[in-house]
């Protein structure tokens, strides 16, 4: 008899976990996936492409309906889980159903942070998190629309890029003095800013939002320095927080997210958490790669195999608005570090490597990131570069060519 295993959440972590579990222990569990969104699991990373009109909604589905069927998974989507009873080992759904589980996996993801500023609740103030957000944006885009995107992190930039592709006039405002300050150094951030500007996006740095203004709907964004930006649409993309409400209701141990051990098990041995809702060794990851790794570890664990998640060295390996960027480790360069830089404005590339005592400790790449994973590996290994140093900044092929 299969044990009932319930997954709450139907996003990327969930889909990868189910896929891995199928590979590791097909039939051992009777799997039921509960999703609040009324769609099959989709690739959230591609929402900006959807917004930009580069793909259709169907294109971003992670798995087809038939695939889910072939995995023997019961999908319950468009319904929200409202409470968990750990003692009774049941999950209550919106509308009253109560589902028993032997094992529960929380993959509830994260929620957008809303700025505590006046006017954030005006109609026309959107977030950028799911299909509904994209649909709402698409309903308002066009050459006559002026959009202000608040937040110069990855999400805000992707939203700005997607909107700009629709012909919308986009202004991206960011509180800090450079874009993606947690992933990029100043030079890479400047290059990114220029790349966005070349796509027609106006970028304002050091722009502190004071209030959203409007009479019944959004009309403008007022900045702390008094500037007023006319806006027909505002997208708030200032960050995310783990979605841990259900876990809280179940009395699980929480930090910023749901605290898990190296087997992705929460304070309740029958309940697990993966992805952006989880907090492992004090870290809540906001990227897809750790979520996938966690899903794999948990699948192996539930299949009865030895598996442990040791955390992911923070690296960013992305294409931001079509421009590859990569960063890892101490890419700024603390005191006592040495810096190697290679820039070619003609090629639109930039690389900075940070070394401490001849050991690579950080890297930021812009424009061409093919060697990012090699640098990440060098950072993880922590060995002195020695002879590699001479050409290390030019990438693996040249550095290893004696």
**What residues have CB less than 8 Å from 345, skipping those under 6 apart?**
none
SS3 401: coil
How many residues sit close enough to other proteins to count as binding (CB under 8 A)?
43
**Site membership for other proteins, residue 226 (CB under 8 A):** no
Q: Can you tell me which of 114, 194, 319, 387 binds other proteins, judged by CB under 8 A?
A: 319
Q: Can you tell me which of 59, 94, 132, 177 binds other proteins, judged by CB under 8 A?
A: 59
Q: Is 402 exposed, middle or buried (0-12, 13-18, 19+ CB in 10 A)?
A: exposed
The interface with other proteins within residues 261-300 (CB under 8 A) comprises 287-289, 292
Range in contact with other proteins (rule: CB under 8 A) among 98-106, 135-143, 176-184, 390-398: 390-398
Q: Can you tell me which of 4, 25, 37, 43 binds other proteins, judged by CB under 8 A?
A: 43
**Site membership for other proteins, residue 313 (CB under 8 A):** no
Q: Can you tell me which of 123, 338, 384, 387 binds other proteins, judged by CB under 8 A?
A: 338
Q: Can you tell me which of 55, 205, 307, 332 binds other proteins, judged by CB under 8 A?
A: 55
Using the CB atoms, write b or e for 220-244: b if 16+ within 10 Å.
bbbbeeeeebebbbbbbbbbbebbb
CA distance 308 to 310: 6
**Site membership for other proteins, residue 24 (CB under 8 A):** no
CA distance 237 to 189: 18
Question: Minimal CA–CA distance to 352: which of 368, 378, 332?
Answer: 332
The Cα angle at residue 154 between residues 153 and 158, in degrees rounded to 5: 120
**Site membership for other proteins, residue 259 (CB under 8 A):** no
Question: Do strands 103-106 and 110-112 pair parallel, antiparallel, or not at all (unpaired)?
Answer: unpaired
Q: What DSSP state is assigned to residue 346?
A: T
Question: What's the closest the beta carbon of residue 286 comes to other proteins, in angstroms?
Answer: 12
The interface with other proteins within residues 191-210 (CB under 8 A) comprises none
- The answer to whether 224 and 210 have CB atoms below 8 angstroms apart is yes
**Site membership for other proteins, residue 397 (CB under 8 A):** yes
**Site membership for other proteins, residue 368 (CB under 8 A):** yes
Q: Can you tell me which of 1, 87, 139, 401 binds other proteins, judged by CB under 8 A?
A: 401
Range in contact with other proteins (rule: CB under 8 A) among 95-103, 123-131, 179-187, 366-374: 366-374
CA distance 200 to 296: 41
Question: What's the closest the beta carbon of residue 118 comes to other proteins, in angstroms?
Answer: 35
Question: What's the closest the beta carbon of residue 325 comes to other proteins, in angstroms?
Answer: 8
- The continuous run of DSSP H or E covering 335 comes out as none
**Site membership for other proteins, residue 131 (CB under 8 A):** no
**Site membership for other proteins, residue 359 (CB under 8 A):** no
Range in contact with other proteins (rule: CB under 8 A) among 213-221, 228-236, 264-272, 338-346: 338-346
CA distance 289 to 224: 37
**Site membership for other proteins, residue 251 (CB under 8 A):** no
The CA dihedral of 227, 213, 148, 151, to the nearest 10 degrees, is: 80
Range in contact with other proteins (rule: CB under 8 A) among 39-47, 93-101, 223-231, 278-286: 39-47
Question: What's the closest the beta carbon of residue 154 comes to other proteins, in angstroms?
Answer: 11
Question: What's the closest the beta carbon of residue 344 comes to other proteins, in angstroms?
Answer: 4
The Cα angle at residue 181 between residues 178 and 182, in degrees rounded to 5: 175
**Site membership for other proteins, residue 138 (CB under 8 A):** no
Report the number of secondary-structure helices (H) and strands (E) in the chain: 10, 25
Tokens of 37: 């969104």
Q: Is 38 exposed, middle or buried (0-12, 13-18, 19+ CB in 10 A)?
A: exposed
Where along the sequence are the contacts to other proteins (CB under 8 A)?
Answer: 43, 45-46, 49, 54-55, 59, 62, 287-289, 292, 317-319, 324, 326, 338-347, 355, 368-374, 389, 391, 393-394, 397-399, 401
């Amino acid at each position: 008899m299969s044990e009932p295993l319930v997954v709450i959440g139907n996003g990327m972590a969930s889909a990868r976990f189910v896929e891995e579990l199928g590979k590791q222990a097909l039939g051992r569990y009777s799997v039921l996936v509960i999703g609040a969104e009324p769609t099959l699991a989709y690739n959230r990373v591609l929402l900006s492409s959807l917004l930009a009109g580069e793909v259709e909604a169907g294109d971003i589905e992670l798995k087809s309906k038939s695939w889910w069927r072939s995995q023997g998974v019961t999908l319950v989507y468009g319904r929200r889980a409202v409470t968990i009873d750990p003692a009774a080992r049941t999950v209550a759904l919106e509308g009253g159903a109560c589902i028993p589980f032997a094992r529960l996996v929380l993959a509830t993801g994260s929620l957008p942070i809303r700025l505590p500023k006046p006017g954030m609740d005006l109609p026309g103030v959107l977030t950028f998190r799911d299909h509904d957000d994209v649909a709402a944006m698409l309903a308002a885009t066009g050459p006559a629309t002026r959009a202000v995107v608040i937040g110069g992190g990855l999400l805000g930039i992707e939203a700005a890029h997607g909107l700009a592709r629709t012909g919308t006039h986009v202004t991206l405002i960011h509180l800090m003095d450079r874009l993606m300050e947690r992933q990029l150094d100043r030079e890479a951030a400047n290059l990114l800013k220029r790349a966005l500007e070349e796509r027609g996006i106006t970028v304002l740095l050091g722009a502190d939002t004071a209030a959203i203004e409007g009479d019944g709907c959004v009309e403008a964004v007022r900045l702390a320095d008094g500037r007023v930006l006319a806006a027909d649409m505002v997208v708030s993309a200032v960050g995310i927080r783990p979605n841990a409400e259900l876990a809280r209701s179940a009395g699980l141990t929480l930090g910023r997210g749901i605290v898990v051990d190296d087997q992705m098990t929460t304070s309740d041995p029958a309940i697990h958490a993966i992805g952006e809702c989880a907090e492992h060794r004090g870290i809540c990851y906001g990227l897809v790669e750790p979520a996938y790794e966690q899903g794999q570890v948990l699948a192996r664990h539930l299949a009865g195999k030895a598996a442990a998640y040791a955390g992911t060295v923070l690296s960013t390996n992305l294409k931001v608005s079509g421009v590859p960027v990569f960063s890892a480790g101490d890419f700024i360069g603390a005191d006592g570090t040495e810096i190697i830089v290679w820039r070619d404005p003609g090629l639109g590339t930039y690389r900075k490597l940070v070394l401490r005592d001849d050991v690579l400790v950080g890297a930021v790449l812009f424009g061409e990131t093919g060697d990012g994973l090699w640098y990440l590996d060098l950072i993880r290994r922590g060995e002195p570069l020695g002879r590699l140093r001479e050409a290390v900044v030019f990438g693996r092929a040249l550095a290893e060519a004696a």
